[in-house]
Amino acid sequence: MIESPARNPSLAWREVDGEIVIISPEDSQVHELNETASLIWKYADGIRSCDEIAAELAAEFDVALEAARADAAELIEALEEKRLLLVAAPVAG
Amino acid sequence: MDRWIRRTVERHLPWNVHLDLTYRCNERCIHCYLDHEDYGEMTTLEIECVLRQLAEAGTLFLTLSGGEIFLRQDLFELIAYARRLLFDVSVKTNALLVDAEKARRLQELGVRGVQISIYSADPEVHDSITKVRGSLARSLAAIRLLQGQGLHVKIACPLMTHNLAAYRGVQALAEELRIPYILDLTITPKMDGGTSILSLRNPSQDLLPILQDPIFNPKSCDRDDVSQPSLATGATGSSSASGLESHAYDDIPCSAGHNSCYISPYGDVFPCVQMPVATGNVRRERFEEIWYHSNEMNRVRGVRESQLPVCSSCTIRSHCERCPGLAQMEGGDLLGAYERACELAELKARIAGVEDPVSALHVKNGRDAVSCKVPPLNVLPQASA
């Protein structure tokens, strides 16, 4: 099953100079995303799959797709663990 | 976070906005600086338009306040709209109108913080300030409802002559509720410039017990005697401040006009709720036009500590919490010194061990700090709860 990460709708966030800062209302934690994580964040629309996001990273940073897949998987997992991203299966059809 | 705040200051990003939704209120606090009449507050659509503009401008922190925000029938509609625009939303309220359903709605909408003013743990004192019988009980009941929903609640306690002795009780109350609190030592003039309420201000000397309280000032007594920090984090400061502290503000008087501003219920934009410098109105101009291009906003933004004609040379400047807005309202000069700040700075400097501290204003006026002499710590009166 292909998973499509989505931004947790309960969060507050803004982009400043290409980097994302997120505030969680639950615990007031501030999360500052680096350039790569910020890009993943922007593409995490609940529609794009992890593979599609990796392809965007590969194109943006001009790196091999496999390397981008590994980075994306690691970062998406980290963001999911912090409940910043919610990873769900896409709606069929 | 400090890095981000520094970035917003450098780029003049309006990261933090305080928006008053109404000046109407169901209390009549004796120290309040507002005129509670409604002269035509912004409509739902107007506010939503402002919120869109703030989001486009990069605002992240949005504080909704009043007056009493729950008097707005569209409050939850506005909060929901703000949350859809991904703002971090905090609210300030007396909470008299907060019931279980409203508490649930606030939590459901993802409001991050609720600040409630409590003037004393003694209902007689609190209610005499709000002029609403039973208001303390109602506010406390609301705090418990909000906590029950998992919301972060904070107590703000402006101190005036009527409730100075009550601060220990508020402290104990906050500890019992396990919530943070802030003691606000400042009573500000009315927004229309009226100074009658300044008679409620505590003389500086009377604030000594608080300034020396080890909870707020661990250096004021022998470190070995400092008790363990309270579970309820306490602080002195401005109850109208954002709470976003940073070294990014070190060379500027404050964040007003740099990365924060205030918008009134009538759409007037000020650098700060405490700084009566009119910079424009969002009913007539786009917010970003005012923020970046208003002559008055740029004038405020251009001020640096080194430019302050009196304060820049003050030897006790590090002990001073000078507010440019109060400098304007009380001293008539945005860049000037004002008596209240000097008195408090001299007190704090003396508590910190500075010998015979005298502010630059008092030096200039040929005054000694005679009104601010601090007796030895072991003869100070203890504030009663």
CATH number for position A46: 1.10.10.1150
Q: Is residue A2 part of a domain?
A: no
pLDDT at B62 over 50: yes
Q: Is residue B139 within 8 Å of B93, Cβ to Cβ?
A: no
Q: Is residue A70 part of a domain?
A: yes
Tell me the chain B residues in contact with residue A12 when contact means C-beta distances shorter than 8 Å: 60, 83, 86-89, 110, 112
- The pLDDT, as a whole number, for residue B236 is 66
Strands A19-23 and A30-32: antiparallel
Tokens standing for B121?
């743990």
B105 pLDDT tier (thresholds 50, 70, 90): very high
pLDDT at B219 over 50: no
Tell me the chain B residues in contact with residue A13 when contact means C-beta distances shorter than 8 Å: 60, 86
- The pLDDT, as a whole number, for residue B5 is 86
pLDDT at B358 over 60: yes
Q: Is residue A73 part of a domain?
A: yes
pLDDT at B188 over 80: yes
pLDDT at B312 over 80: yes
List the single best residue of A8, A10, A14, A23 to mutate versus B (max B Cβ within 10 A).
A14
Are A25 and B110 inside 8 Å of each other by CB? Answer: yes
B23 reaches A (C-beta below 8 A): no
Residues in chain A, total: 93
How many contacts does A have with B, using Cβ atoms within 8 A?
45
Side by side, the strands of the sheet bearing B16-20 are: B234-236, B181-184, B152-158, B113-117, B88-93, B61-65, B16-20, B260-263, B268-270, B280-281
Positions in chain A short of pLDDT 70 = 1-2, 88-93
Q: Distance between CA B23 and CA B166 in Å, rounded? A: 27
Place of tokens 């709605």: B105
> What is the mean pLDDT of the segment spanning B165-178?
93
Q: Is residue A89 part of a domain?
A: no
Q: Is residue A64 part of a domain?
A: yes
Nearest-by-CA chain A residue for B84: A9
Structural domain range at position A59: 9-84
Q: Is residue A92 part of a domain?
A: no
- The pLDDT, as a whole number, for residue B328 is 92
pLDDT at B369 over 90: no
Tell me the chain B residues in contact with residue A6 when contact means C-beta distances shorter than 8 Å: none
Mind listing the pLDDT tens digit for each residue in B248-258?
A: 566 888 999 99
Tell me the chain B residues in contact with residue A16 when contact means C-beta distances shorter than 8 Å: 4, 7-8, 11, 13, 58
Q: Is residue A17 part of a domain?
A: yes
Angstrom CA distances, B313 to B95, B277, B348, B362, B364, stand at 44, 25, 18, 12, 11
B243 reaches A (C-beta below 8 A): no
The model's pTM: 0.90
B3 pLDDT tier (thresholds 50, 70, 90): confident
Nearest-by-CA chain B residue for A13: B86
Q: Choose the weakest-confidence range: A8-22, B10-24, B117-131, B241-255.
A: B241-255
Q: Is residue B84 within 8 Å of B38, Cβ to Cβ?
A: no
Domain count, chain A: 1
Q: Distance between CA A11 and CA A22 in Å, rounded? A: 7
> What is the ipTM metric for this complex?
0.90
Q: Choose the weakest-confidence range: A86-90, B65-69, B113-117, B323-327.
A: A86-90
- The pLDDT, as a whole number, for residue A91 is 53
Query: B121: Cβ–Cβ under 8 A, 6 or more apart, which residues?
Result: B136, B166, B169, B170, B172, B173, B385
Which of A10, A12, A28 is the closest to B60 by Cβ?
Answer: A12
Mean pLDDT taken over chain B: 88
Percent of all residues in chain B with a pLDDT value above 90, rounded to a whole number: 74
Percent of all residues in chain B with a pLDDT value above 70, rounded to a whole number: 86
Q: Distance between CA B294 and CA B312 in Å, rounded? A: 26
pLDDT at B301 over 50: yes
Q: Which residues partner with B166 through β-bridges?
A: none
Q: Report the gap between the CA of A85 and the closest CA in chain B (Å).
A: 15
Are B1 and A32 inside 8 Å of each other by CB? Answer: yes
Q: Is residue A61 part of a domain?
A: yes
Q: Which of B291, B290, B361 is nearest to B322 (CA)?
A: B361
Mind listing the pLDDT tens digit for each residue in B36-47?
A: 999 999 999 999
- The pLDDT, as a whole number, for residue A92 is 52
